[in-house]
Amino acid sequence: MWDVSEKTLYSMIVFLFLESLLELYLTMRQIRVYKQSKSVPKELQHVMNNDTFEKARVYGLDKAYYSIFKMIVCDIWITQLELVYGFMALVWARSVEISATIGLNPKSEIHVGCLFALLLNIIGMLKEMPFKIYSTFVLEEKHGFNKQTAGFFVKDQIKGFLVGQALTIPVAAVFIYIVQIGGQYFFVWLWVFVAAVSLVLITIYPVYIAPIFDKFRPLEEGELKQSIHELATSVKFPLGQLFVVEGSKRSAHSNAYFTGLFGVKRIVLFDTLLVNKGLPEDDPSLTESDKGKGCKNEEVLAVLAHELGHWKLGHVAKNIIIVQIQLFLIFLAFSQLFTYGPLYEAIGLPVGEKPILIGFMIIVMYVLAPYNTLISCVMTVLSRRFEYQADAFAQQLGYAKDLGNALIKLQLDNLGFPVYDWMYSGWYHSHPTVLQRLDRLKSLCQGKEQTYKPKSQ
């Protein structure tokens, strides 16, 4: 018969395997949709031609096949092997050995834990790199979305890795220290610490960290800037600065967002969202493929009205509160389970050895995996509800038609496929499909007058 640690190990393996099988099944359902869908949905026939539909279908198929390959290699093969052969235990043992040779104290869990975190991050980066390279320079390149050069990609990865270590290693050290000295209710102090760090990062990221990776420029004076300020004023949004981020150097995909938790906030537009990337039509940096792409001013305002709806309706604050509650519950579960020896023995550690970081990782990644899956499903449902509410907010401001046009244009520019299997979409998509959103906007507009709408001249 299996002992407790073996039962624990096999339980973790079985659940992760079953979850991967479910995701494989859902992806296969969507592949069937890609293969069987041969004509443009009637709702989009006036804006989407057969050529664009076919390109989106092939793009979706390629991404689906890639996701299956990555799922089999990473989630099924590598993950199972790491669990069976005690990968984390091996890295911990190696961290103890290395710490003694580089002047650290091998008996200090903080010293060894920080080195362990660094080694795990290095190994994780190396494991992920082939997939990143393929996704960027093969998959996205094939369909015309990659804009990165090899040099830009390498610099981006190096900067991302260094920034990541500068943030995670000090947090890991404090995390271990709090558990060591926090007493019976250390989970409360852990929660306070992580909550404070996350709020600080949300505040400083757009000002100090994001510019490390992308170039930001103030939105030029003109009709669009004036209209955005009028829109923000109309809903009492405390807009401070308007920026355009040169996302086109990374990808041809489009987006817009606002940042800032307290007081004055900033709105950031991807240059790919704007017509001709927000540049004059004769700008020499514009390629032929760039010309004419992007949303008109009214459509940009509609997208921002949707984003401001998230703020006005409290979605941002609600999400932050939900995340903090989840963190508290995770830390509470960790405090109750982290002394349970079979958890550590299950992944290959000697009897009696219970490193705090490994305990936390086992509990969050494996023990709480069913709970995490359930919460993920609930959050997906909630996110889709929030998206409908933000669309309704934009409609109440009079932007229903322009938002619909923007959704269609973004769908076309990003080669988004409009048809999805309902189970696949319900599992993976935090946003309703474009057809669902268009249908909801249409139903909202029936019999309702549009209200305030600041016009760009």
- The residues that are catalytic are 307
In sequence order, the β-bridge partners of residue 245 are 216, 270
| DSSP code per residue over 348-396 | TPPTT---HHHHHHHIIIIITHHHHHHHHHHHHHHHHHHHHHHHHHHHH
Tell me the C-alpha to C-alpha distance, in Å, between residue 167 and each of 106, 120, 159, 171, 313. 23, 15, 12, 7, 32
The first and second tokens of residue 427, run together, are: 């599992």
User: Which tokens go with 234?
Assistant: 């109309």
Give the separation between CA 242 and CA 249, rounded to whole angstroms.
19
β-sheet bridge partners, residue 244: 217, 269
Q: 3-state DSSP call for residue 321?
A: helix
Q: Which of 323, 367, 324, 365 is nearest to 343 (CA)?
A: 367
Q: Which residues pair with 251 in a beta bridge?
A: 146
Annotate 181-221 with three-state secondary structure. HCHHHHHHHHHHHHHHHHHHHHHHHHHHHHHHHCCEEECCC
**Residue 264: phi, psi to the nearest 5?**
-65, 140
- CB of 261 within 8 A of CB of 199? yes
DSSP of 131-145, one letter per residue?
A: HHHHIIIIIIHHTT-
| Whether 253 contacts 247, CB under 8 Å | yes
Cα gap 177→183, rounded to integer Å: 11
**How do beta strands 239-245 and 265-270 pair?**
parallel
Query: The tokens of 283 are what?
Result: 């700008």
Q: Is 105 helix (H, G, I), strand (E, B) or coil?
A: coil
Q: What is the DSSP letter of 260?
A: -
Which structure tokens are listed for 3?
Answer: 């002992």
Contacts of 252 by beta carbon, 8 Å cutoff, 6+ apart:
144, 145, 146, 147, 272, 413, 414
